[in-house]
Amino acid sequence: MKTHLKLSILCSCICVGIVSQAANLSATISNQSDTYLEDAVVYLTATDGQTLEYTQKNEVVDQINKQFVQKVKIVTVGSKVSFPNKDDIHHHVYSFSEPKNFELPLYEGVPSELVEFPKKGVVSLGCNIHDWMKGYVVVVDTPYYAKSTKNGSLEISGITPGNYIINYWHPNLQGAPQQEPIQIKAGNNSLVKQLKTKTKIKARRAPRGRDRGY
């Protein structure tokens, strides 16, 4: 009985220790006009150039109503993405971006092969049939990443406290992706960040009444 009690106390101490070490980061991202930015990508990388440990996953980017859903998808290096066509027309998804150049020729339904993303960086997606279809796969080499919602907020949880480089990217970012050092303390961390975006944004939407049946 005594041994059992001692073990229980020991277990509780270990568990409390682990919980208090975990950190999370809440961020709110806006632009220079104080407009909250949706689809801002934030991720943490090591300060010493080392790669943090992360896992690969199979991810999905749909095509729905002639749009990529999600428009911005974050994946880890080496992950594979399926591009199911949920419309009853054909799409022809491609990218000419340096980290991943690929093409899924005219197809309906779910392509049989997943596309692997072996290098970090931003991969711009397009469709050969529908010019306005624009999407991005942001390939990162870290387990700590998140994307902002409509109100500009995001959260990264389960971070090991320490010093990191915080990286910012957005589809309408003006200039190069931004990064700066950040110290993540155990518990809750929060920040507010303003990114400079291009002011003239051409809306890319499906034109109405010109469906030629593709």
Q: List residues near Cu ion by CB under 5 A.
A: 91, 127, 129-130
Find the shortest distance in angstroms from Cβ 109 to Cu ion: 14
What is the number of the residue whose Cβ is closest to Cu ion?
127
Distance CA 114, CA 112 (A): 7
| Nearest approach, Cβ of residue 87 and Cu ion (Å) | 8
CB nearer Cu ion, residue 66 or residue 120? 66
Do the Cβ atoms of 90 and 107 come closer than 8 Å?
A: yes
| Least distance between Cu ion and beta carbon 65 (Å) | 11
Rounded-to-integer distance, Cα 179 and Cα 156, Å: 16
C-beta atoms surrounding 103 within 10 Å: 12
SS3 5: helix
Residue number with CB closer to Cu ion (67 or 97): 67
Among 130, 119, 121, 116, smallest CA distance to 83 is for: 116
Give least dist CB 90 to Cu ion, A. Answer: 7
Which residues neighbour 182 within 8 Å (Cβ) at sequence distance 6 or greater?
44, 163, 164, 165, 166, 191
Closer residue to Cu ion, CB minimum distance, 120 or 130: 130
In the complex with Cu ion, which residue's Cβ is closer, 40 or 127? Answer: 127
Place of tokens 């950040």: 182
Nearer to Cu ion, 54 or 107 (CB): 107
Instruction: In whole angstroms, give the CA distance from residue 199 to residue 191.
Output: 24
In whole angstroms, how close is the CB of 83 to Cu ion at the nearest point? 11
